[in-house]
A = this chain, B = another copy of it.
């Protein structure tokens, strides 16, 4: 207990060792003021020898920036927050900034607590990672620092929200299938109460209409986001619309289940039926036989973009509105 650091090496120690005053040492280390190159080198060497850690905290006091940002997430175990976090962390570390991670578990009390804690730590900004589905009540009014909302929408239109372009992703998928001359395209996806599912369905209808094609099965099949539902839905679909020659699935789990069921029914993928998944969740998309063509959400890029916007906001120019991050078609053998 007691003193944490065995011998808290202070700027004074460095100065003494370098044979200069504390002031000069400070200037040398922070590259400020006028310090002769030789002196500066001596100070730096002394600092290195003592493995001096400038007390960022005290310096932050005056300098104003802590070079840390708070990342608030509602549902960290969800699959989507992680790549976003990863991208953000990478982008931040490129700018020598740190991430303070907080998972609210969807609990408002925890969230407020975290916000207080992070503010007490003087974070320079917030990244709020949400659940694409629901709308986040805006925190911006309570914050003295900028915030960027990622993978969710804020209630305040003046906030900046980065979301995945679901319409664009679905469009990519369907246009890919149409380019492969498939005429009977079906859509198996997740629960209708997911905004992402609804947006993609809208795009599916739009693109098919543009090409005068029907939706095989008449309407999209809504179920869970699971392999099981994929298997079930595929059997349903083959029974009711045997002419189906392509299926666009709401995620890779469903797609993986669909492939299993189709294979079980003797339909060949992609020869008889082409399959496109969604999310590019490697563990499902690449492990499937055949590997799945799918839509990559560029989640890591989303995190990176969020950091870029935050950095912009920190230097004064803040954007607003909903920004859609384009998706990317990843072609594998399930449509080859």
Contact = CB atoms under 8 A, between A and B. Distances in A.
Given A5-B144, A76-B82, A283-B253, A93 B110 contact: yes
B99 A114 contact: no
Interface stretch (A31-39, A64-72, A172-180, A209-217): A64-72
20 contacts: A1-B315, A1-B316, A4-B145, A54-B120, A55-B61, A58-B61, A68-B100, A76-B82, A76-B86, A77-B83, A77-B86, A85-B101, A89-B101, A93-B110, A93-B113, A96-B117, A98-B117, A228-B287, A231-B289, A264-B264
- Is the interface on chain A under 10, 10 to 19, 20 to 34, or 35 or more residues? 35 or more
Contact of A120 (B56, B101, B289): B56
How many identical chains are in the complex?
2
Interface of A: 1, 3-6, 53-58, 60-61, 64-66, 68, 71, 76-77, 82-83, 85-86, 89-90, 93, 96, 98-103, 110, 113-114, 117-122, 124, 144-145, 226-228, 231, 253, 260, 264, 283, 287-289, 315-316
Contacts of A103: 86, 89-90
Chain B CB count within 10 A is highest, among A57, A122, A288, A289, for A57
